[in-house]
Amino acid sequence: MATASAATQTMPVDDPIEQLYERGVTDGFPVVPPTRERVERMLAGAPDCARDELIGTLGPCYGEATVEKIAINAVMAGCKPEYFPVVLAGVEALCDERLCAHGLNVTLFSAAPWAIINGPVRLQIGLNCGHNALGHGFRANATIGRALRLVVMNIGGARPHELTKATMGQPGQYSALIAENEEDSPWEPFHVERGFREDESAITLFAGGSPQQISDFQSRNAEQLLASIGFTMGGGLWNYKNYPLFGDTILVLSPEHAHTIAASGWSQKDVRQFLYDTVKKSVDDLKPGKDGGEGFGANILRTFEKSGLVVDGYVRKFRSPDSLLVVVAGGTAGRFSVAIPGWVADDLGSTPVTKRIQVSY
């Protein structure tokens, strides 16, 4: 049997896939060689954009994200040309300073740019919104998210062991994408809440960590179910580094859970308000060293008290109702939902950014 080193020596030096590995432009998986023909086909997916048009500059190295450079990375990710308008809108959001791509890609926290996609484009390009919505097996979901990662690496300059210093990392750093299941949701789509028309398509980027799966097969009304979900969301991440008062949170409700809540007459706004009011811990439980945990430093607790964030001796888990982003996705069978904690927000770091997807088909 040949050794690994011998096998490496027999690899053709002119293999374009191996050459791209040598150049350090992959995410660890093989990429599609960006030949001129492939790049031209990708550019044809956004015919109204000039190849040298500057979408923005992208941190941490603030490289220039032109349409052509983005097309090259979309080819390498395996995108079809019809996905390209979605990728362009995603890169526009990445370049928005409110998202803080610089901090997102150099923090020790294992953050990833989670993409939430809404509108008719989901069905036009075959995004999976149903069973296994956050999982594998669907080209559009996998490659659009991957294209954003390659853009962050190859244009933004955020490469592991160089500028990217996430202590642990997470699978979402390959591709992190949620296409909302608008057809099986009892509420208006997420992008409509953010000011877009239902017949428009939009992408929202969110600086988020690893997803936490939540199971509840027993609750049969909104208050019971959201109490269960809230207790699960409040079960961990109470130390000062990861406390969601400093960031936003995505709650991805499965259609079954969403319909249980809606059957009680509750809206997304009611969901956010209930979780904000309900999920909290006492100041005593958050003091340093409590139960052997890191807790909050005394100075942080005093700051919370001065800012009015401590009410009747309790600190809320979430900084405001609007810091909870409620999305419906996944299959119609199975009472599972997912919570995705965010990286630091607002003037401390990142704010979710939504951009319109300019489709011409």
For 306-342, write each residue's pLDDT tens digit.
Answer: 766 778 888 888 888 999 999 999 999 999 999 998 8
Q: Is residue 295 included in any domain, yes or no?
A: no
Q: Is residue 239 included in any domain, yes or no?
A: yes
Q: Is residue 292 included in any domain, yes or no?
A: no
Among 6-20, 224-238, 326-340, which stretch is predicted with the lowest mean pLDDT? 6-20
DSSP string, 172-210: GGT--EEE--GGG-SS--HHHHTT--TTS-EEEEEEE--
pTM for the predicted model, two decimal places: 0.91
Q: Is residue 306 included in any domain, yes or no?
A: no
pLDDT, tens digit, 9 for 90 and up, residues 125-145: 999 999 999 999 999 999 999
Instruction: Indicate the number of domains in the chain.
Output: 1
338, 290 contact by CB (below 8 A) = no
Q: Is residue 235 included in any domain, yes or no?
A: yes
Cβ neighbour number for residue 95 with a 10 Å cutoff: 23
Q: Is residue 186 included in any domain, yes or no?
A: yes
Q: Is residue 312 included in any domain, yes or no?
A: no
Q: Is residue 288 included in any domain, yes or no?
A: no
Q: Which domain holds residue 56?
A: 12-279+317-356
pLDDT, tens digit, 9 for 90 and up, residues 134-179: 999 999 999 999 999 999 999 999 999 998 889 999 999 999 999 9
Q: Which residues contact 6 (CB under 8 A, 6 or more apart)?
A: none
